[in-house]
Every structure is written in structure tokens, then in C-alpha cells.
Structure 1
Amino acid sequence: MTQPQLQVALDQLALAEALQSLTLLAPHIDIIEAGTLLCCSVGMQAVRTLREAYPQHTLVADLKAADAGETMTRLAMDAGADWTTVICAAPLATIEKAHETAEEYGGEIQIELFGHWTLNDARDWQRIGIRQAIYHRGRDAQAKGQGWSATDLDLLRALADIGIAPSVTGGLDAQDLALFKGIPVRAFIAGRALYGAPEPAAAAQAFRQQIRQYWGQ
């Protein structure tokens, strides 16, 4: 089983704050995400700046597109993103257009699993070429104290069986990773647990240690 990667979600509103976070975190992570809030705040300048500063990292533009799949994907990819996101509620035609456009750039589309979706939806996504999805608890769910359930874990396994590699996010800390042992997670995504930690590099190393422990070297 491939070892999961570690992704930081930069959801600050100020680009300078996001860049400051990366000065300590970048050596310890695999994937940099220009978060939805950051992209809404400063636009594709966030993606362009991150691409220029960190050319070796995989870069995600978390746009959560719901329509205009081609245009949204081109905006992200032209700015330097490797991957960008489409919300699961988007019409299949939008997802397919986004995927086709991403392929022109050698990039990928990730489906954001917010709200209602089914495994039949996932099969449709896989059929048109989608290979990644992001499974998470939103901030509102976290605020209500909703933890990771057996249903969550079963759905992650089902996605992997369909052929869609799931990434996991939503209030994760390093100790949560043990819950996902045995599941072929594409990446673990954390935001404030990394850049908001007293020692961000140490926080990233704690995630790394858990990944090594449960998925091997």
C-alpha cells in the first residue's frame, strides 16, 4: 500500500500569512493547498505566488467549482496548480469538462465530498476518468463534535475499491491517523493543526511519524 502524503491547507485570508506558514512547513510536507478562503480573498495570485515560491511541491487550488468546469480549471492550471477541486454537487457534465481540461495540463481534478453524494455518483466520476476525492468533516460538523464514524471509514474503503483515491481532512490531528490504518489514503490534509501549532515543523513531523507507523516506510 502506498504511503499517504501530507498536505497543508492554507486557509488564511492574507497571502503573506500563508507564505509565512510555509517557511517552516514546506520541508516537511508534500502538497501545498491554496485554500478556498485564500483563493476567494486574493484570487489566483495565491496560486501563482505559491507556484513560484515552491516549484517542487504538488500545488492544489481548492476552488470547489460547481459550474463552468473548463473555465475554473483553466484559471487554476494557468496559475500553476497541479490539481483543482470540483464540488460533488456539480453536474456530471461540469465534472467531465473540468477533468478533460485538467488532462490538457497534465493535472487532476479532485471531487470535494460535501453534502449529499452516493457511491453510484462515485462510479460515474470514476467512469469519466476521475481518480481522486476529498472526504472530510466540514467546520460546522467539527463544531458540533461529530467524530469519524465507522460509516466514514466504510465509505473511504468503498471509494478506494471503486478506483477513487480518497484524501482525508476535517479537523485532523496526528493521533487521528490511526483510525484510517489499512485504508489506501491518498493524502492527509491539515490546516490549523499544522500552521497554527506552536511548533509547525514538529507538528508536521508528528503526522509523518504516524504515517510511517501505520503505512510503513
Structure 2
Amino acid sequence: MKIQLALDRMTIDEAIEIARKVEEHIDWVEVGTSLIKEFGMESVRLMKEAFPGKTIVADMKTMDNAVYEFEMCYKAGADVATVMGTAPDVSIEACLQVAAKMKKLVMIDLLNTKDERKVGLAQLDEALLCVHVSKDEQESGQAKRLLDLPESLLQNEQVRIAVAGGLTFETLRGLEARPSVAIIGSAITKATDPIKAAAQLKKYASGKEE
């Protein structure tokens, strides 16, 4: 299991600073949607410059204009970029084609995606599916279960799954299945001791603590 540090609602300098503190205990660094919207591709470029040995995720949440947006992300230094599961098939296919050409990865965000659609998207071997409880759902108290997937996908070890949305050490341990990627934001960035929090998560992710 990889630990992906989600960085949102802060400046680029603040994002780099917190990532440096916990660098030893994380695998992927996510340039969050809010960072990209506020600071553009500079946020991706600077993050890759700061952490050349880390997998950098550009959380674009692309819905359209897929080739342009994905090429832009990858050229800026992203190793992974995100597209919405509710995007048109042609857009998702374009993302996968760009990723294949540039030897990068695609993460498909399943926010507000119907189960039938999730099953269809799981057939895409090249993609990583992200089960996502939105920030608005979390803050309004309307959050659904974290691993909101059809049982057939939960039991399929061939399906690569990332989980995002208010994950903590306790909720991660309580998931019905171990995801390939655990996307952690405030449980690290807002922790009293971010290094200790990240270390605990990484220890569990590596299978050294159950």
C-alpha cells in the first residue's frame, strides 16, 4: 500500500514544507485541486523540483479537454493525473492514450459515479480507480462509507484502488479491503505531530503493524 500525501488549501511553500517534514514516510505527493486552481502548473513544477524521487500526482479532476490538460500536467512533472469517472468515455480514453505515450499513470476519480459505471471502468487495466468521499460531503456530515464500491470490485484483487476522503489511521485499518493507495490529507497535515502521524500510517501500510 502506498501513502499519498494530499496537499490542499495552502500555499505552494506551505505544501512543500509539510511534505519535506514527512518525506521519509510517504510515497506519493498530491498537488491538490485547490493548489492547481490557485497557482496553476507552477505548483506541479515546483513540487516535482522539490521531490524528484517521489511520484507526483496532479489532481486535475479533468472532465473535458483531456489531451491538453493531461499533456500539460505530465510536461510539468506529474507522474499521475486524475480524470473524473463521470467524464465522457472519449475523454477517459484520451487520458489513457496520453499517459501511455508519455509513460505516465491515470487515476480515475469515482466521485458521484454510479456502480454500473464503476464496474465498467474497472475493466480498464491501465487505470487506478479512486474511491472518493468529497470535502463537501465530509464537512456537511453527509459522507458515505469510505470504500463505496460494488462487492464484485472489492473482492477482485486485480482492480487497483485508491481511497480518499477524510482517511485517518483508524478508518484505514477498518476498511473492508486494503487499497493500493491510501490518500491522506488532514490526518497528517493538521496533526499535532505530522511526522509521527505519517510514520504510523506508513508502518501500517508496509504491513508491519496490524
TM-score after normalising by structure 1? 0.87
Question: 1:198 aligns to what?
Answer: 192
Deviations along 1:84-110, one digit per CA (max 9) or x if unpaired, are 000111000000001100111111111
Q: Determine the C-alpha separation between the residues in 2 that align with 1:140 and 1:147.
A: 8
Deviates further, 121-130 or 95-104: 121-130
**1:159/1:70 Cα in 2 relative to 1: closer, same or farther (>3 Å)?**
farther
Deviates further, 123-132 or 185-194: 123-132
**1:54/1:82 Cα in 2 relative to 1: closer, same or farther (>3 Å)?**
same
Deviations along 1:53-83, one digit per CA (max 9) or x if unpaired, are 1111111000000001111100100001111
Match for residue 131 of structure 1 among 127, 131, 134 = 127
Question: 2:159 aligns to what?
Answer: 164
Structure 1 residue 149 and structure 2 residue 141: aligned? no
Structure 1 residue 111 and structure 2 residue 108: aligned? yes
**1:159/1:84 Cα in 2 relative to 1: closer, same or farther (>3 Å)?**
farther
Q: Determine the C-alpha separation between the residues in 2 that align with 1:203 and 1:209.
A: 10
Unaligned runs of 5+ in 2: none
SS of 2:174 mapped into structure 1: helix
Question: 1:93 aligns to what?
Answer: 90
Question: 2:179 aligns to what?
Answer: 185
Q: Determine the C-alpha separation between the residues in 2 that align with 1:111 and 1:16.
A: 28
Deviates further, 50-59 or 202-211: 202-211
Task: Judge conservation of contact 1:177–1:211 (CA < 8 Å) in 2.
Answer: no
**1:162/1:67 Cα in 2 relative to 1: closer, same or farther (>3 Å)?**
farther
Match for residue 34 of structure 2 among 25, 34, 37 = 37
Q: Once the 2 structures are TM-superposed, how far is the Cα of residue 210 of structure 1 from its aligned partner? A: 2.8
Q: Once the 2 structures are TM-superposed, how far is the Cα of residue 209 of structure 1 from its aligned partner? A: 3.0
TM-score after normalising by structure 2? 0.90
Deviations along 1:116-139, one digit per CA (max 9) or x if unpaired, are 3223x2344344544201112111
Alignment root-mean-square deviation, CA: 2.3
Instruction: Return the letter of the residue paired with 2:173.
Output: A
Overall identity of the aligned pairs, in %? 27
Q: Determine the C-alpha separation between the residues in 1 that align with 2:92 and 2:51.
A: 28
